[in-house]
Structure 1
Amino acid sequence: MIEVYTDGASNGDPGPSGAGIYIKQGHNQYNYTFFLGNLSNHEAEFHAVIQALIICKEKFPNEILSFRADSKIVVETIEKNYTKNKAFIPLLQTIHEHSSHFPHFFIKWIPEKQNMHADKLARQAIRNHHSKIR
């Protein structure tokens, strides 16, 4: 089983956004940062899950995925497979499409303090982008 921690961050709402992904596979650990452009914080959270699924499709095909996120909106939307928010509908569809490639995909909500590593990576993605454009 692959453990995947995701987080999205945004400077402003909307504003420059980043995704942080921390993956644990046994004793191996992987860190990823992605600059996402100008998004709301919630959109960045959804995009972090999408980016993590893309990574897992490439690096861990056919594995059982156990995702953890500190965004209740993202976790509840994915668990219920439903949202009224028009901006989230295509993101949910993308998550559903990518997650269907795995035998099992689970996502659970965790408190922010248990997701500090992914949060740090998401903020690093924004900082790294800002330092490149200066």
Structure 2
Amino acid sequence: MIEVYTDGASSGNPGISGAGIYIKTSGKIFEYALPLGMLSNHEAEFHAVIKALEICKESFPGEILSFRSDSKLVVDVIDKDFTKNQTFLPLFEKIKEEASNFPHFFIKWIPEKKNHHADQLARKAIRMQ
């Protein structure tokens, strides 16, 4: 099982945004700080999950994925399999599409203080722009 921590951050809302992805597997750590351009904070959170799924598809195909995010909004949308927000809907559809490449995809909400690594990577991605 692959443990994936994601975080999206924006400097301003909307503002320059970044995604932080922290992956733990078989005693190894993988870290990604990905610039996202101008987005709202919520959009950045969705994009962080999408980018992490794309990385996992390439690097860990066929694995069981256990995601963690400090975004209640993203976790709730995925858990409830529903959003009527037209901005988030295409992002949610992309998450479902990417997650379908794996035998199992789980996502769990965690408090911000337990998502420190992904948060630092997201902030680094903002500084990179």
- Class of the TM-score when normalised by the shorter of the 2 chains: over 0.9
**What residue number does 1:13 align with?**
13
**What residue number does 1:108 align with?**
108
In structure 2, give the amino acid aligned to 1:102: F
Q: TM-score, normalised by structure 2?
A: 0.99
**What residue number does 2:2 align with?**
2
**What residue number does 2:70 align with?**
70
- In 1: Cα distance, 2:111 partner to 2:105 partner: 20
- In 2: Cα distance, 1:38 partner to 1:84 partner: 22
In structure 1, give the amino acid aligned to 2:57: K
- In 2: Cα distance, 1:68 partner to 1:28 partner: 17
**What residue number does 1:124 align with?**
124
- Give the greater-gyration-radius structure (CA): 1
- In 1: Cα distance, 2:67 partner to 2:83 partner: 19
- In 1: Cα distance, 2:96 partner to 2:90 partner: 10
- Quote the sequence identity (%): 68
Deviations 1:66-86 (A, max 9, x none): 000000000000111101211
Deviations 1:11-66 (A, max 9, x none): 01100000000000021000001100100000000000000000000000000000
Listed as ranges, the gaps of 5+ residues in structure 2 are none
**What residue number does 1:32 align with?**
32
Listed as ranges, the gaps of 5+ residues in structure 1 are 130-134
Partner SS state of residue 86, structure 1: coil
- In 1: Cα distance, 2:125 partner to 2:36 partner: 9
- In 2: Cα distance, 1:88 partner to 1:104 partner: 23
**What residue number does 2:42 align with?**
42
- In 1: Cα distance, 2:16 partner to 2:100 partner: 30
Q: TM-score, normalised by structure 1?
A: 0.95
User: How many aligned residue pairs are there?
Assistant: 129
In structure 1, give the amino acid aligned to 2:64: I
